[in-house]
Amino acid sequence: MNRSFLRRGVLVGTLLSLLPAVAWAQEAAADAAAAPAAWKPDTGDTAWLLVSCALVLLMTPGLALFYGGMVRRKNVLSTYLQSFIAMGIISVLWVVAGYSLAFGKGFGPMPSLVGGGDFFFLNNVGVNDGAPLAATVPHQLFMAFQMMFAIITPALISGAFAERMKFKAYLVFISLWSLLVYSPIAHWVWHPDGWLFKMGALDFAGGTVVHISSGVTALVAAIMIGKRRGYPNEEMRPHNLTSTLLGTGLLWFGWYGFNGGSAVASNGLAVAAFVNTHIGAAAAMMTWVFIEWAHRGKPTALGAASGAVAGLVAITPGAGFVTPMGALAIGALVTAVCYYAVVVLKSKLGYDDSLDTFGVHGVGGTVGAILTGVFCTTSVNSAGKDGLLYGNPGQVVTQLIGVAATWAFAAIVGGLLLFIVDKTIGLRAKSTEEESGLDLADHGEEGYVM
């Protein structure tokens, strides 16, 4: 038999045997082309949000240092722990229910007041699918980033009643407040179903959600729980302002993630928020220093720290909506109002907001939210609005509605929760416990052993 003929026969047979495999490969390729591509995260956005998440968490220990330095030595540990414990209890509540109440789909076709139960116990919140409100990052990461906001917000309130609330009462109160005040307001403002979102209210990173809600509740708490023993006749100077300045630095550092991370992307909007955050804080700090210098004759470390935080608070709602010069103006303007609230108004009205939570966060958040409606421009963020200076005075009205609603809800519901806790387990420590200090009374420990 001709060898050439034999070789051709073998070759043809081999090719014929491969035809089914070729057909299968073609069919598989066609199926793959027809099937939707598997979701993949944007690695740059994901990396930036991971960093921002860590930065925002760092703010809570920073707050502990900031507040802890301003109280008397006998209450330093209890004040620290009121911030630290929020990292535990609020995290648990957030993954169980808080995240769903804030970012779950609202009820019905109308603008909603609170999210549903679709994300309870992190159901449907995975790492292999994009977040509904941030499609380029894993859903679980977006949940974790928002959790850091939920942690620090109730901890802020503790500054108003520092040195006199029972630890047990504090735990119960912030748990209820986080679920029944913070989560609903977050839904109003940040979820597309929320009624303030649909109205067009702007809050880039939490002027209303974080600062007004906590600051207004802080004022109600300070009034309901009463003044510290001996206030204002007894000297109650901060025991460690070096701690307060260190805490201020950590807050400022973490705030880059707080505001810059709220872009939920590694892009120009994150840069704008980052730069505006720094400029707003710097302008506010220097304005406070010069006002205090003129008013009292000397600039103080506590004043510089207060001014910086007031600027950070005020720029938060507008960080991703205003220009750097808008941030400069907001920082300068907010300081005058906050300085008056802290130095003049508090003494005139006679309430004991121990660490000026209302004067800085409540007032600063309010001023910042309103001024966002003045300075916002779509040249910075096309998803935002033009404000008063750009031909749209109606945005100021919208911002005022958002501010008023947050004030009313935080005051009424926060006050009701305080009333319930007071009538069940009691809000205030005993007079003997206040005298000895809450470090020993509540925790059996001392911050300093001399």
Give the chain's domain count. 1
How far apart are the C-alpha atoms of 359 and 334, rounded to whole Å?
Answer: 11
pLDDT of 24 > 50? The answer is no
Query: How many C-beta atoms lie closer than 10 Å to residue 121's C-beta?
Result: 12
Residue-wise DSSP of 247-304: HHHHHHHHHHHHHHGGG-SSSHHHHHHHHHHHHHHHHHHHHHHHHHHHHHSS--HHHH
Task: Indicate the residue type of 195.
Answer: W
pLDDT of residue 9: 52
> C-alpha angle with apex 206: 203 to 209, nearest 5 degrees?
100
- Average pLDDT (13-32) is 47
pLDDT of residue 106: 86
Query: How many C-beta atoms lie closer than 10 Å to residue 4's C-beta?
Result: 8
Closest to 86 in 3D by CA, of 153, 159, 15, 185? 153
Q: Are 354 and 310 in contact (CB under 8 A)?
A: no
Numbers of helices and strands, H then E, in the chain: 19, 2
pLDDT of residue 220: 98
Query: What digits encode the pLDDT tens for the residues 396-431?
Result: 999 999 999 999 999 999 999 999 999 999 999 999
- Average pLDDT (286-293) is 98
pLDDT of residue 16: 44
Query: What digits encode the pLDDT tens for the residues 55-105?
Result: 999 999 999 999 999 999 999 999 999 999 999 999 999 999 999 999 999
Split at pLDDT 50, 70, 90, the class of 2 is low
pLDDT of 22 > 70? The answer is no
pLDDT of 298 > 90? The answer is yes
- Average pLDDT (115-128) is 95
Split at pLDDT 50, 70, 90, the class of 187 is very high
Mean pLDDT of the chain: 93
pLDDT of 33 > 70? The answer is no
Task: Indicate the residue type of 311.
Answer: G
Query: Among residues of the chain, what percentage have pLDDT more than 90?
Result: 88
pLDDT of 15 > 60? The answer is no
pLDDT of residue 110: 73
- Residue 34 belongs to some domain of the structure: no
pLDDT of residue 7: 54
Query: Where residue 301 sits, what CATH number does that domain have?
Result: 1.10.3430.10
- Average pLDDT (184-207) is 97
Q: Tell me, yes or no, if the pTM score tops 0.85.
A: yes
Which of residues 329 and 13 earns the better pLDDT score?
329
- Average pLDDT (187-212) is 97
pLDDT of 38 > 70? The answer is yes
Closest to 100 in 3D by CA, of 62, 136, 139, 138? 139
Phi, psi dihedrals of residue 448, rounded to the nearest 5°: -135, 130
- Residue 255 belongs to some domain of the structure: yes
- Residue 67 belongs to some domain of the structure: yes
Query: What digits encode the pLDDT tens for the residues 215-248?
Result: 999 999 999 999 999 998 888 999 999 999 999 9
- Residue 2 belongs to some domain of the structure: no
- Residue 27 belongs to some domain of the structure: no
pLDDT of 37 > 90? The answer is no
- Average pLDDT (380-401) is 97
**Element containing residue 374 per DSSP (H, E):** helix 363-375
Split at pLDDT 50, 70, 90, the class of 266 is very high
Split at pLDDT 50, 70, 90, the class of 28 is very low
286: domain range?
43-443
- Residue 7 belongs to some domain of the structure: no
